[in-house]
Amino acid sequence: MKIAQILPTTLIDYPGKVAALIYTPICNFRCPFCHNSELVLPEKIRKLKLIPENDILYFLRERCGFLDGLVITGGEPTVQPDLLRFIEKIKGLGLLVKLDTNGSRPEVLEELLDAHLLDYIAMDLKGPAARYDEMAGVHVDMAAITRSIRLIIERAPDYEFRTTSAPTITAKDIKEAVSPIAGAKRYFLQQFVIPTNKDLVDPAWNQKTALSEGELRALWKRIKGNFTEGGVR
């Protein structure tokens, strides 16, 4: 399992839980507004000093009495060929597992759900179908995205969907994007913040305008009736 970074403790990435968080390198998307270019762009990934899996397992084993779970994010974790085997080891420690995903590989989600290895799934919705390729930076199989949505709603023990208010995304775009998840348990709008010490995948997007917090809160008031929980963060 390729692991690029670890956050030893987080109180915000797994709702209601104390968790550690690991970042996996490699992603099959090229979202131009992504903050984690070092985990996405091959020329930057080659410069990473990866953390041995056994070091991560040792760390988690030592902190099992303090941590509730582990968050696996990226990059895109579902492109890791040994993800299932790794999560089996994490579950063997008695920890909960939250997986962050772009939803492009429903076959991996299904395999993990079949094995009862996931306790929480967070899936990013990049935008409306008509703009998905633009926001993902690659051609996206929308049938795969739709299949992941259904799998998560119907089978995940707990879950959330979320959309980052990336530059150029409008309130109308977001309203269209959430139509396929109407009735879902949990949805969040995430404000886009230009990083001060990191490069976007496409630095030109630093100059583009994104919705403000106020605009997002006004939008949430209009769409919140479609979801049990959620908000702006």
Task: Indicate the number of domains in the chain.
Answer: 1
Residue of 85, 131, 125 whose CA lies nearest to 101: 125
- Residue 183 and residue 22: Cα distance in Å, rounded? 30
Predicted confidence (pLDDT) per residue in 28-66, tens digit: 999 999 999 999 999 999 999 999 999 999 999 999 999
Predicted confidence (pLDDT) per residue in 93-135, tens digit: 999 999 999 999 999 999 999 999 999 999 999 999 999 999 9
Residue 195 pLDDT level (bands cut at 50, 70, 90): confident
Residue of 98, 136, 118, 124 whose CA lies nearest to 22: 98
Treating both helix axes as pointing N-terminal to C-terminal, what angle do 106-114 and 83-92 enclose, rounded to 10 degrees? 30
In this prediction, what percent of the chain has a pLDDT beyond 90?
96
Q: Please give the structure tokens belonging to residue 92.
A: 């063997």
Query: What number is the average pLDDT over the span 158-162?
Result: 98
Query: What number is the average pLDDT over the span 175-199?
Result: 92
CA distances from 52 to 1, 24, 56, 104, 187 (A): 8, 12, 7, 27, 34
CATH number (domain holding residue 218):
3.20.20.70
pLDDT for 48: 96
Q: Residue 196 pLDDT > 80, yes or no?
A: no
- Residue 99 and residue 72: Cα distance in Å, rounded? 5
pLDDT for 142: 98
DSSP 135-172: HHTS---HHHHHHHHHHHHHH-SSEEEEEE--TT--HH
- Residue 92 and residue 52: Cα distance in Å, rounded? 18
Sign of the CA dihedral running 196, 201, 203, 205: negative
Residue 217 pLDDT level (bands cut at 50, 70, 90): very high
Domain residues for 133? Answer: 5-232
pLDDT for 197: 75
Query: What number is the average pLDDT over the span 169-177?
Result: 97
How far is C-alpha 56 from the geometric centre of its chain's CA atoms?
20
Bridge partner list, 123:
101, 161
pTM: 0.97
pLDDT for 11: 97
- Residue 50 and residue 114: Cα distance in Å, rounded? 29
